[in-house]
Structure 1
């Protein structure tokens, strides 16, 4: 991994090992690789019951009747709940729009919707009892696409909608609409020498985290409940759970349990309310763990999309205009669809300078599975389309595709189509230069001199379907832009509580946040920040819970920026308080206490010249400094609903990829040999974690390029492949070499100059792979994922 860039605003005093800029090891790493880490599905209570959810077998149907009598009579069953058993008048929840019922009422709107709950003394008893619940459905026509959703006589997925989006959408089956208009795209089109257009289809992707939804709800003596759960946002869950239970938020105490991956799929509630309802009804702890089949129905997916794009350019390669229309399928409930629409529209131009644009993005209500947050949401779908367009334009103009992109690349100071100025480094052209300059991997790697061919290096791999006949190499490039943090005026803040005290004669720091550690390494970075700011080696990370203020969601590449910023902010306040105590105790004896810039280093108070003034143990003695503070990044604003103008995003991140593939053109098999990435991260707080995040995001983009798609029957809206047997994700045999080149160009608005990194590589890896396959085959390939039949015409 190469690292270059400008200096960043790191506090320079500390000499403690394990601070910012070092590749410190993760505190949970050894436990995870040895299998000793406790995930939420591992939790146990000696007298607990097991919960199970009965889900709809129809995608759109009236519920005529529900008979639970046989299930209730089953030995070992303690409770069966339906909609009529919910304890309060609040029976819906949702991230932005409260349109999702806790349990279906009146009708079901998608395949797998929760209808009833069972609590029993054994998980198999609960499943058998649920199977005895008799539900009479009257099936309704299904809404599956834009044509059926917006037809004049279309059935409404949600009758009587009155939410805050209804005023600016043309049909009740549209969740949200965001146009962006700047300049005059039609007039600019008249000046273009070349115009290309294309229609693109992006498949529905699953987050495919390895740890299924799970949690344990324990009823408390005060009438409340303690919930131990794997989630991405404790306080958002709390805000949705408490009203349904009829409890004040302080009686719903939530603690983060071990999370086996997330990628956006845990932003929405799954089993949280259900477990709490069963625990409060039975008076016993209730554990719910989804199996893999149920997990495919228990969380939202990435929005499938249909995208139409038109670009124009002059003969010398300058972009003249862009028009696009993006239709996202949100499925049965809103989830994060409004935010996904905002991202898709505002980032639909890509990292390019185009003055004249006409953009529209919408999200539909349909009877397909609900879709919401997934790594890079909205921006991923758009990047797939605009990068294909860049290759088309370059080909029409006879230009090198990388040079064409560099000619039109944005940079610091560029004005975006939303009217926002990019006011931090935007090294788009440099990232492209770096991936192009990297040496190519050797060709025909499967040929081993004097030995049998290494089939692992061939398309088809260990299936041994080809030995190199008809295999063609292709090379493709792509670059993308992703926003960091929550946008459009959302009050995006985080809270951190930092405590410094003396234990056993040594200074110890405890950091307490509600940040969900979902595998991204936030707990490692928080300890590094505390060591850097407080000069103390011993840092403890308190378990995340709702006994501290909100940390927001572990999503949008925001946690290191926002919760890291909160930890830094609170540490700075603790440092000042410690120095205030020291001045009170020792200042009269040494003038440097009053005049010098004082730092904390190696458990001591020192001047900026290195003179030791006191040990922290002597400063604090029996005192402890405990400070909890909120921290906010600079504000954003909502996009205008007519023009799309507004400073909607707080920060942008950029990544570029070069894909090298080998394709068996006769069998339609693809082997991705290398996916080289270059990315600007502002400041690599933990270089090893940075590399891991980039490689992980790259691999998820590879998956959606060549294998991952949830298949929904267009006639019934039922999911056809809810298992890892039929929904394929990349294994180690599918994962190519992923060399990483990291730039560190500080964003002066961010803590330490850092830039969120987790999502950007997911954008550009997919179109880079598609570009390489097109380069190898000469085919247009305007959909993901690419399947063998798309390459062979069969």
Structure 2
């Protein structure tokens, strides 16, 4: 009896150096492609029960009664739980506690958890949940800004008690961030052209391929062991323990295999539900969502409405910018306040504009909850400001790339928040590089002697055209994204590194709580350890809460912050090794002399053999085990009136050129190529860097032309499946050539820059710009649908 297929240590070595800067293969890669990798849904316990969540069919309703009698009488059912069964804390939340563990009196969105069932088979649990009788009284809906802020609007959180409540103009506004700099009206008077635009971004799903899942096992000490797919073990722990009425040390969490995340696993889903059922029944409980449940089980990207105004002089200099960004946060806060901060502070884009008036806010509504998703508020803003750049260039009869380069920021530029960009910001160079890339051939669907290859045409294998009515378009875009947690958040990470000799060879074990969600952090940590310690064999310990927090795998921060923690800890291990060497051998000894190379770090690759020999001699019979925290430089909260403040740690930049073919008769789009140029500071693993850029680019493509959660006027999700919610397949994914620029950031470990989000920003507006070029249509909304192109 016991848990099987739990996470295992990942060991890298086999005689290859695999240090920083090399394209080291991932230790989990072969396991994943051969189907041997244990994901969270593979967790098993011999006598486990299966949990199931009953969800609300209404978006806003009062719960009049819940009758669980029939469900409890179902053979095989061990427990049914509702809000009335909660004994301790009943709410949780990332930034503040406004989300019910189970609905209490009122449901605020379609799919909100109402009751839990534990049974000896998953289908038994589902059938029993269907027997729970819930009597609802529908309530008026809040679905947009108008209904949220009307004088008679229902207050979705009438008793809210959070640090934002006193500075918002209405209780249904989660957070509002203005930014004011310069004199917009005076600058407007100097403008030769002024363009305004209304833009809209639909609700995008993270669409990770491994649905939410986990296994909770009650322990003999009254605590619980949770094996879970998540992005942030310690944030989960902080929210779960009070609900269970347990001290944090009795809630032991271990990361299970994660099948993607993209922000959708930052909030709790089934974690606390599985733990509640396990402690209630005294048996292990496993919960695995199907795809339908997953659409209701996690937050999504905020849909947005954006109004922009820009002015410019005849010589192409932008005079001013005004914008208003309204994000729909849905029923609960999640990370909406931080998303507002990002959207506002990055709303200008990577351009020098001295005069700005910015307002960004997020609403409480009865729509699905929204929170973190790759790009985190900067995606929505980038779609709007890049459309504005094209419109300004057209008004001035200027090349759109040249116009952007005239106004591009560089190192030393000042953000609208007053923060000086103190690391390389090669925006103009990235645009030059991406424009200089070779163009794909015209009419590439033509095959010599065999007619048209329909796979290369709009409509693809549906064979809708052989080139008739197909028009090519080219579009450009560039974006700016912050790296790391911002606005004064204590952003740190912890690493534990053990160095010892096993079977005559020095071996390093790296232990962090970093969630490996597919980004390749386990590979990078091993590379850092090899580089800093001069060893070949590195083992990555499974992530859990038995080591200090590593923060979230989000905000492009893990290589920077947890990688920084691993580097910092390895440096402390080196110091300890040298102390041991002095104590063992004194000043003159071959082992001491070679071990001394370790302190210099940079020499260990070229002198690896000597270092390894020295390590064996020094460490024989010894074990060096060090745990350290590492923090980047501090940030500041933005002023709530002016928006001024050094709110971000680092900025990243990417530029795209999109080439599309559009069937103007049917409104079908084929993205032929999405070329990208990006500054990454330093490539710790070039292969992984390109993979991150190409993956992020594809996610931006999805938002441009296909991905949207459709919400009805009754605030109900209409397409919770991959049949109706479309994501790019291999047939939709274009060629993605990548030009990587490495301009080191002196403030970051190894000079690196966060990689994985910036391409998600600029790929979307580049694709839409290309479609505009092909069709001549204004296209102010994403995703672009066929009816937007044909007028039907």
| TM-score of the alignment, normalized to the shorter chain, above 0.5 | yes
Spell out the pairing of 1:685-700 with structure 2 (5 A cutoff): 685-700=684-699
Q: Determine the C-alpha separation between the residues in 2 that align with 1:62 and 1:338.
A: 27
Contact kept in structure 2, 1:49 and 1:285, CA below 8 Å: yes
- Taking a change above 3 Å as real, the CA distance of residues 312 and 156 of structure 1, as seen in their structure-2 partners, is same
Q: Determine the C-alpha separation between the residues in 1 that align with 2:21 and 2:594.
A: 30
| Equivalence for 2:760 | 762
Q: How far apart are residue 282 of structure 1 and its match? A: 0.3
Contact kept in structure 2, 1:196 and 1:310, CA below 8 Å: yes
Q: Determine the C-alpha separation between the residues in 1 that align with 2:43 and 2:613.
A: 46
Q: How far apart are residue 532 of structure 1 and its match? A: 0.2
Q: Determine the C-alpha separation between the residues in 1 that align with 2:548 and 2:608.
A: 38
Alignment of 1:514 onto 2:510: no
Alignment of 1:130 onto 2:155: no
Q: How far apart are residue 603 of structure 1 and its match? A: 15
Q: Give the aligned CA root-mean-square deviation in angstroms.
A: 1.8
- Taking a change above 3 Å as real, the CA distance of residues 497 and 610 of structure 1, as seen in their structure-2 partners, is closer
Contact kept in structure 2, 1:603 and 1:616, CA below 8 Å: no
Alignment of 1:726 onto 2:724: yes
| Equivalence for 1:737 | 735
Q: Which runs of 5+ in 1 are unaligned?
A: 1-14
Q: Determine the C-alpha separation between the residues in 1 that align with 2:606 and 2:462.
A: 66
Please list the CA deviations of residues 58-96 of structure 1 after superposition, one character each: whole Å capped at 9, or x if unmatched.
0000001000000000000000000000121x1000000
Q: Determine the C-alpha separation between the residues in 2 that align with 1:594 and 1:234.
A: 42
Spell out the pairing of 1:637-786 with structure 2 (5 A cutoff): 637-714=636-713, 716-786=714-784
Contact kept in structure 2, 1:341 and 1:361, CA below 8 Å: yes
Structure 1 residue matching 2:402: 3-state secondary structure = helix
Spell out the pairing of 1:8-19 with structure 2 (5 A cutoff): 17-19=17-19
- Taking a change above 3 Å as real, the CA distance of residues 449 and 149 of structure 1, as seen in their structure-2 partners, is same
- Taking a change above 3 Å as real, the CA distance of residues 529 and 612 of structure 1, as seen in their structure-2 partners, is closer
Contact kept in structure 1, 2:179 and 2:357, CA below 8 Å: yes
Contact kept in structure 2, 1:231 and 1:267, CA below 8 Å: yes
Spell out the pairing of 1:438-453 with structure 2 (5 A cutoff): 438-453=437-452
- Taking a change above 3 Å as real, the CA distance of residues 290 and 608 of structure 1, as seen in their structure-2 partners, is closer
Please list the CA deviations of residues 236-273 of structure 1 after superposition, one character each: whole Å capped at 9, or x if unmatched.
00000000000000000000000000000000000000
Structure 1 residue matching 2:586: 3-state secondary structure = helix
Please list the CA deviations of residues 360-410 of structure 1 after superposition, one character each: whole Å capped at 9, or x if unmatched.
000000000000000011000000000000000000000000000000000
| Equivalence for 2:226 | 227
Structure 2 residue matching 1:589: 3-state secondary structure = coil
| Equivalence for 1:104 | 103
- Taking a change above 3 Å as real, the CA distance of residues 115 and 612 of structure 1, as seen in their structure-2 partners, is closer
Q: How far apart are residue 453 of structure 1 and its match? A: 1.3
| Equivalence for 2:366 | 367
| Equivalence for 1:790 | 788
Structure 2 residue matching 1:631: 3-state secondary structure = strand
Q: Determine the C-alpha separation between the residues in 2 that align with 1:481 and 1:453.
A: 39
Q: Determine the C-alpha separation between the residues in 1 that align with 2:605 and 2:454.
A: 62
Q: How far apart are residue 612 of structure 1 and its match? A: 7.0
Q: How far apart are residue 97 of structure 1 and its match? A: 1.5
Q: How far apart are residue 615 of structure 1 and its match? A: 2.4
Q: How far apart are residue 161 of structure 1 and its match? A: 1.8
| Equivalence for 1:529 | 528
Q: Determine the C-alpha separation between the residues in 2 that align with 1:329 and 1:336.
A: 12
Q: Which runs of 5+ in 2 are unaligned?
A: 1-14
- Taking a change above 3 Å as real, the CA distance of residues 605 and 398 of structure 1, as seen in their structure-2 partners, is closer
| Equivalence for 1:565 | 564
| Equivalence for 1:455 | 454
Q: How far apart are residue 605 of structure 1 and its match? A: 8.8
Spell out the pairing of 1:337-486 with structure 2 (5 A cutoff): 337-486=336-485
Alignment of 1:269 onto 2:278: no
Q: How far apart are residue 160 of structure 1 and its match? A: 1.9
Structure 2 residue matching 1:658: 3-state secondary structure = strand
| Equivalence for 1:4 | none
Q: Determine the C-alpha separation between the residues in 2 that align with 1:292 and 1:379.
A: 27
Structure 2 residue matching 1:334: 3-state secondary structure = coil
Spell out the pairing of 1:2-41 with structure 2 (5 A cutoff): 17-41=17-41
Q: Determine the C-alpha separation between the residues in 2 that align with 1:390 and 1:134.
A: 55
Contact kept in structure 2, 1:91 and 1:101, CA below 8 Å: yes
| Equivalence for 2:208 | 209
Q: Determine the C-alpha separation between the residues in 2 that align with 1:547 and 1:150.
A: 46
Contact kept in structure 2, 1:166 and 1:172, CA below 8 Å: yes
Structure 2 residue matching 1:599: 3-state secondary structure = helix
Q: Determine the C-alpha separation between the residues in 2 that align with 1:77 and 1:162.
A: 38
Q: Determine the C-alpha separation between the residues in 2 that align with 1:541 and 1:163.
A: 39
The TM-score normalised by the length of structure 2 is: 0.97
Q: How far apart are residue 157 of structure 1 and its match? A: 1.1
Q: How far apart are residue 505 of structure 1 and its match? A: 1.2
Contact kept in structure 2, 1:599 and 1:608, CA below 8 Å: no
- Taking a change above 3 Å as real, the CA distance of residues 614 and 732 of structure 1, as seen in their structure-2 partners, is closer
- Taking a change above 3 Å as real, the CA distance of residues 270 and 624 of structure 1, as seen in their structure-2 partners, is same
Structure 2 residue matching 1:116: 3-state secondary structure = strand
Q: How far apart are residue 618 of structure 1 and its match? A: 1.4
Alignment of 1:78 onto 2:82: no
- Taking a change above 3 Å as real, the CA distance of residues 67 and 608 of structure 1, as seen in their structure-2 partners, is closer
Alignment of 1:166 onto 2:165: yes
- Taking a change above 3 Å as real, the CA distance of residues 503 and 458 of structure 1, as seen in their structure-2 partners, is same
| Equivalence for 1:181 | 180
Structure 1 residue matching 2:331: 3-state secondary structure = coil
Please list the CA deviations of residues 389-440 of structure 1 after superposition, one character each: whole Å capped at 9, or x if unmatched.
0000000000000000000000000011100000000000000000101111
Contact kept in structure 2, 1:513 and 1:548, CA below 8 Å: yes
Q: Determine the C-alpha separation between the residues in 2 that align with 1:46 and 1:406.
A: 63
- Taking a change above 3 Å as real, the CA distance of residues 445 and 105 of structure 1, as seen in their structure-2 partners, is same
Contact kept in structure 2, 1:603 and 1:615, CA below 8 Å: no
- Taking a change above 3 Å as real, the CA distance of residues 154 and 503 of structure 1, as seen in their structure-2 partners, is same
Please list the CA deviations of residues 479-516 of structure 1 after superposition, one character each: whole Å capped at 9, or x if unmatched.
00000000000000000000000111111000000000
Contact kept in structure 1, 2:532 and 2:601, CA below 8 Å: no
Q: Determine the C-alpha separation between the residues in 1 that align with 2:156 and 2:612.
A: 70
Q: Determine the C-alpha separation between the residues in 2 that align with 1:479 and 1:613.
A: 46
Spell out the pairing of 1:240-251 with structure 2 (5 A cutoff): 240-251=239-250
Q: Determine the C-alpha separation between the residues in 2 that align with 1:760 and 1:639.
A: 22
Q: Determine the C-alpha separation between the residues in 2 that align with 1:506 and 1:219.
A: 39
Q: Determine the C-alpha separation between the residues in 2 that align with 1:602 and 1:183.
A: 47
Contact kept in structure 2, 1:607 and 1:613, CA below 8 Å: no
Q: Determine the C-alpha separation between the residues in 1 that align with 2:475 and 2:314.
A: 23
Q: How far apart are residue 158 of structure 1 and its match? A: 1.1
How many residues align? The count is: 778
- Taking a change above 3 Å as real, the CA distance of residues 612 and 466 of structure 1, as seen in their structure-2 partners, is closer
Structure 2 residue matching 1:328: 3-state secondary structure = strand
Spell out the pairing of 1:510-659 with structure 2 (5 A cutoff): 510-590=509-589, 598-599=597-598, 615-659=614-658
- Taking a change above 3 Å as real, the CA distance of residues 64 and 436 of structure 1, as seen in their structure-2 partners, is same
Q: Determine the C-alpha separation between the residues in 2 that align with 1:271 and 1:611.
A: 51
Contact kept in structure 2, 1:606 and 1:614, CA below 8 Å: no
Structure 1 residue matching 2:19: 3-state secondary structure = coil
Structure 2 residue matching 1:345: 3-state secondary structure = helix
Q: Determine the C-alpha separation between the residues in 2 that align with 1:594 and 1:772.
A: 61
Contact kept in structure 2, 1:486 and 1:556, CA below 8 Å: yes
- Taking a change above 3 Å as real, the CA distance of residues 63 and 532 of structure 1, as seen in their structure-2 partners, is same
Structure 1 residue matching 2:57: 3-state secondary structure = coil
Q: How far apart are residue 599 of structure 1 and its match? A: 2.4
- Taking a change above 3 Å as real, the CA distance of residues 620 and 609 of structure 1, as seen in their structure-2 partners, is closer
Q: How far apart are residue 163 of structure 1 and its match? A: 1.5
Please list the CA deviations of residues 314-341 of structure 1 after superposition, one character each: whole Å capped at 9, or x if unmatched.
0000000000000000000000000000
- Taking a change above 3 Å as real, the CA distance of residues 538 and 421 of structure 1, as seen in their structure-2 partners, is same
